[in-house]
Each structure stands twice: as C-alpha cells, then as structure tokens.
Structure 1
Amino acid sequence: MSLQIGQTILAARRAKGLTQEALAGMIGVTAAAVSKWETASSYPDITLLPPLARALGLTTDELLAFQTAPTAEELRILSDRLRCIFDEQGFDAGCTAADDLLREYPTCGSLKLTVGSLYYHYIASALNNAADATQTAEDISIRCLSLFEQGEQQCTETGEKLMAKSLRINMLTMLGRYEEAEALIDSLPQKLIVDPEQLRLGLHLAQDRLEEAAQLAHRALLTHLGETSTALMSLTTVSRRCGDFAAAHLYVQTYRALDALFGTDSSNGLLLEIMLAQDEHDNARTLDLFEQYIEAQLSRTLNYCDNPYFSDVQTQVPSANELNEMRQLTLRAIEEDERYDPIRQEPRFQAALNRLKTAISSGR
C-alpha cells in the first residue's frame, strides 16, 4: 500500500498559496525535503505530521487520507478491480491483491464479505490448477468462513449481517459442520409475512413509477425463479435417493420447462436428467443427454442482457475466462465420475468430450 501524502501536501500547499520554501520554514525543514515529499521520493517523519497538518490547515487524518472503511462507491470500484485481477491474472494474484486490501482496511466487514464472496466465486480457477482439488476446496471454504464470521461481527447494517450469516451457513454445510449450520439457521429471524419489496412494487404502480416498478418485478421474478428451481432440484434429489423415479422425472421435467420458458441456462437441468438416467441404468438415454449437456456447456454464456425477463437486473456477466474455468471444472468432474464408466468408451461420448476439451484449450 502506497501513501498518497505527497499529493495531499502539494494540493493543500498550493491551495493556501504557500511556496515550498515557505512551508519548509514553518515546520523547520528544507525546501528540498518538501519537494521530496511532494514527488513521493520520501515521506515526512512521523513527528512532523502534527505541525505539517496544522501548517496546511488539515487534520492528521486528512493529511494521511485516513479512512476506517471505503465508501460504498469505493467498495464497488475495489470489487470490480479485484474481479479483473482474479479473472485476468488468476486466483493467486487475486488473493494477493485482496489480502493487501484486507490489511489496509482490517476492520471493514463489508470488504470481508466482498473478498470472501470473490474467493468462492473464483474457486473453479483454484481447483483447476490444484494438485489436490479436495483439499484446496476445503482450504478455500475455511478461509471464506473466517472472512464471513469476521464480516458479520464488523458489519453495522442488519442486511449485511444477515447476508454474512447466510454465507456462513452455506460454508459450514459444505464443510460438513452440520450442527453448527443448524444452530445458525435457528438463530435467524423469522421471515416476514409481508415482503417489503412487494409493498414497494404496489406503491410504485400506484404512483405510475413504471420503470422502478418493472425493475422490482423483474428482480422478484428472478429471485422466485431461483427459489423454485432450487426446490425442484432438492425434490429431484430426494426422489432419486428414495427410488421414486416417477416423481423425480416430474420434478426434472418441470425444472427444465422453467429454463426453457424463461430462457435461462439449460445445463443444470440436463445434468439432473443425466443423473436420473444413470440411476435407472439407461445408458442410451444417458448418452443422448450427455451430448446435449456438452452442447449446452459450449453455448453457455449466462448473459441475460437480451433476456426480456432479466435484462435490467443482472448485475454481473461472466467473462470468457470465467466460463472457461467453469468448463474446466466440468471436464474434471466428468473425468473423475465413475458413473460415466458404462458409456465412457462410446465414440459419441468421446467425441462430445473432445469438443469440450477443444473449446477449453482454445479459450472460447
């Protein structure tokens, strides 16, 4: 972290109409020393900070540009900068940059939530380059959990505290620490009977604030679609484990119908159907679905900017590098999954897998 004190001294000195010699004389140093400070060749001695601040009409905090935490806008800019580093330079470089910021703002809970979320978002990059993917995933999850715990303690806004707790629950569940996760769930406040956003939507409609009403409605639609898809996925898993394949087929088909209706990513629904076909030992069906799944992976963009339902509420579009990291993780999962063994030597399986490998190697 570099101090910007030289720029502050230069701007404040000029604002007060002082020459370097005049400022130097006020605090008992040479004009050359002031020049070095302003060009960042050196920093003032710590004992000179109070008289220097008084001479320039600043507080020492202003002189040092001290902040306990970045503003919301600064945090957004920092997050975007970190995303670029993770995306373009890799996971290790992103971690180094994130750690520098955490040292700069050690008590900023919002930053810790941001960094922990980025670590998890880019976990595919770390796993693709790991000698032991299982251990790496556990190490990153533990790191994220620590950041979310600190974030919850340091955040002041109720919404952020709840978000931190939710993230902690997800991490604990992934780590198999189920009792701790359940205790945290029990500590969450009861869900409000009325959603304030739905009330706000009605208000905006009554006020004819149509653009704001449309954005709230789109956001609600995206939220509820996600919740519905998660519930259908869970019901499919329960039905498969219970051997109730008729129910599992119903849930999978409903899941896929929602993807088709709203124009969202089809690969997860296809993967659910592949697992169901594997449970039923239907190799022909598994092979057909596998080819469709690979094609869905290759055409996947997760960009809904032209989607009439979600174009105005998508906050982040994955980059080409992110999509390629996801494909690499998919390839690793396929190669390590013994459930594909019955069709692994099929020419169609190999051809589909080679299309995925080619796309990965070309970075498309």
Structure 2
Amino acid sequence: MNEINLASILVAKRREKGLTQDAVAAFIGVSKASVSKWETGQSYPDITFLPRLAAYFNISIDDLMGYSPQMKQSDIAKLYTKLANDFASLPFDDVIAECAAIIKKYYACFPLLLQMVRLYTNHFTLARTQEQKEALLNETMTLCERIEAESGDMQLSNDAVMYQSVCCLALRDPQRVLDLLGETVRPMMPKGVLISQAYQLMGNIDKAKETLQAELYQHVMAVFQGLLNVLQLNINNIEKAEAAFMRASDFARIFDMERLNPNNVVLLYALGAHLYCVNKSPEKSIELLEKYVDTCVEGFFPFELRGDSFFDLIDPWLNDFDVSAPRSEQVIKNSMMRDVLMNPAFNSLHEVPEFQRLVQKMNRFIE
C-alpha cells in the first residue's frame, strides 16, 4: 500500500531530469524557498499547483503524490491474512479502527472492499456487545451496497449481494434477504459448461478441462452444503435427518471431501452428533464427536482447499480466487470448541467420561 510521499518524489523527478529548484519554481510561479520546503516535507504545494507539477514532470497526480487508489490482488490477499491474524491476537476495537482507515484510503478499490466485507462477515461475532455486532453488520451492508452500485463489475456486485444477504440473516431480517435474492430458486444456467465448450471449439482443450473441473467442483460443494442444511432443518425428524446424514456421508467418501474441504467434514460430524444427541442416541453422538475432534486435531490445519487425483486441474483456479481460510487458525480453533463441544445441544453429555476426554483433547490442541 503506497503512502502519499510527494517530497521524495519531487526530489527524485527533479534530479532525474537534471533540473534545479530555481527551474521548478520559475515554471510553477513560486519562490525557490517554496520548492525547497516541498522537497523537505516542511509544507505541501497548494492544490491548484498539483496539475501543473504533474504536467511538468510528465506524470499523473497520483504518481506525483506516490498514491494509488488501487491494490494488487496479491497485496489484498496478504492484507486479509494479516488482519485475520490481528483479530485473533489484538483488541477487537484496534483492528476495526485499522480496517476503517484502510477502507477510507482505498474506498475506490472494489476488490479490496469486497475482501473487507468478507473479513467483517467472518469476524463480527468477536465483537464484545450485541450493539457492536449489529453496527459492524450494518457497516458491512453499506460497503456491499457501494460495491453493487459503483464497481461496474458484475461478479463483484453478485458477491456483494450474497454477503449482504448473509448480514441480513445475522441481523434477523429475512424479508430483506428475499428482497435481495428473490423468493424462488430459478433453474441454473450451466455457465461453466458453456465456457468449457467455448474453449473446446477454440482448440484449447486444457482450458476446457480446467473450466469444467472448476464448475463440477463448485456443484459438488453446493450439493454437500445443501445436504448439511437439510440435516440441520430436520434435526428433530430422525428419519429425514438421518437420510440426509447418510447421503452426505456417502458423498464425502465418494468425493474425498476430507482432502478437498476438511471444513465440510467437521461440519458433517458436528451436525450428525447433534442429530443423535437430540434423538436420544448418546453413543452415536459421542462416536461422531470423536471423529469431529480427531479431524480437527489431525486433519484440518494448515487449512487449504485443494484438488485431488480427480480434480487435478483446479489448484490454479483455487489460487486465482483466493479461497484461503476466512479466519485465522487461532480463531478457528476457538470456534471449534465454542460452537460445537460447548454448544448447549451437548449439555446432556457433559458428565460422560468419553465426552470429557474429547474436551480435554481439544483444549490441549487449542493451547
């Protein structure tokens, strides 16, 4: 991220062109002392002089000031990782203040704004009070509205609408979700398949294969998430929920979900344990919680979405779209304990020795 650094740039450009301070002063119409103060940082040029200075050195005003309103995608990814780690180790208010300063500075860099939306969506639960949570969610929605209205990028706009819907759900405003997304699910156009066929007609078979794998990968993840949602919605209907659990388990095995997306696997074990605990099957619940803890401890970190022997062409696609962990490792570990093992749904298991052993194992892992 570039800081405004007009003084050093003026010196560098003047020397690069072999000019004196007198020459610059004469062209701009100021004294040599004024130019000297600009170059030492004692003062700044009047705003009306900036276009003249930029034209004199044949550069843009942004280049003259050493400022860019945009960030490279690689820098955005690094910044996201840094801020996610900060949320795990620094006071929440301090990190939010830093985020606000970054947003203000790069308010026209819409890929960055979308990542800040993602950052806020994944960390608002760390706020100390409900008022803080709601304020951050509302601020996130304002950023989403700006991206949708101003970015001119269809994909960024679509992503912003999805994140805005997530915020509305967190704010318990379901009607606004329906207003944003519509009230019915429309038949899905096979965009990736069409793109793949286009590459095939162009003779670019490798790109056609890569695109088709990316499309299928997304559908696999969407189907698995759908099965988890069916399981959760029917948690008190053992027959329907168990059918969803068994199908999701088969799906996870067939598509090697533990390698492709270990987060999906731990969600499956956690929801399955909840299902059997609610329906008075503590032995099955403990069995799945043991699988949950083992996967968290032994197969989750370092978190990385990646392909396998079947999806062997998607790694470059995953890297391009920055699908790294949305939160820092420590925050994720804490949520593994808080959101699952300490969930009130498992209160009936607290005195069971096997459950206590799992809690101890998870505590050791977190520490």
Please give the range of the TM-score, normalised by the shorter of the 2 chains.
0.7 to 0.9
Structure 2 residue aligned with 1:276:
275
1:347 aligns with 2:353: yes
Q: Distance in 2 between matches of 1:267 and 1:88?
A: 22
Gaps of 5+ in 1: none
Report the TM-score when normalising by structure 1. 0.83
1:289: which partner in 2? Answer: 288
CA distance in structure 2 between the aligned counterparts of 1:306 and 1:39, rounded to whole angstroms: 54
Paired residues of 1:108 and 1:151 also in contact (CA < 8 A) = no
Structure-2 residue corresponding to 1:215 = 210
Question: Structure 2: any 5+ residue segments left out of the alignment?
Answer: none
Please point out which of 114, 138, 143 is paired with 1:147.
143
Distance 1:57 1:255, change over 3 A: same
For the residues of structure 1 that align with 2:196 and 2:61, how far apart are their CA atoms?
A: 47
> 2:327, 2:160 → 1: CA distance?
28
Is 1:181–2:185 an aligned residue pair? no
Distance (whole Å) between structure 2 residues aligned to residue 305 and residue 234 of structure 1:
23
Number of residues paired by the alignment? 349
1:64 CA drift (Å): 3.5
Distance 1:140 1:321, change over 3 A: closer
Structure 2 matches for 1:204-353, cutoff 5 A?
204-241=199-236, 243=237, 245-264=238-257, 265=262, 266-299=265-298, 300-301=300-301, 302-305=303-306, 307-308=308-309, 309=311, 310-315=314-319, 316=322, 318=324, 322-334=328-340, 336-353=342-359
Q: Give the 3 Å change call, closer, same or farther, for CA 2–171 of structure 1 in structure 2.
A: same
What TM-score, normalized to structure 2? 0.82
Aligned residues of 1:144 and 1:171 also touching (Cα < 8 A): yes
Sequence identity, in percent? 19
The 5 Å alignment of 1:67-78 reads 69-70=69-70, 74-78=71-75
Q: Does the CA-based 8 Å contact 1:205-1:213 persist in structure 2? A: yes
Instruction: Quote the residue 2:191 is aligned against.
Output: 196
Displacement of 1:304:
3.5
Q: Paired residue for 1:167?
A: 163
Partner of 2:84: 87
Return the offset for 1:354: 1.4
The CA deviation at 1:81 is 3.6
Cα distance, 1:220 vs structure 2? 0.9
**For 2:94 and 2:206, how far apart are their aligned partners in 1?**
40
The letter for the 1-side match of 2:318 is Q
TM superposition shift of 1:204? 2.4
What's the offset of the Cα at 1:62?
Answer: 5.0
C-alpha deviations, 1:221-243, integer Å up to 9, x for none? 221012101221222233334x2
Cα gap change, 1:38/1:80 in structure 2, threshold over 3 Å: closer, same or farther? farther
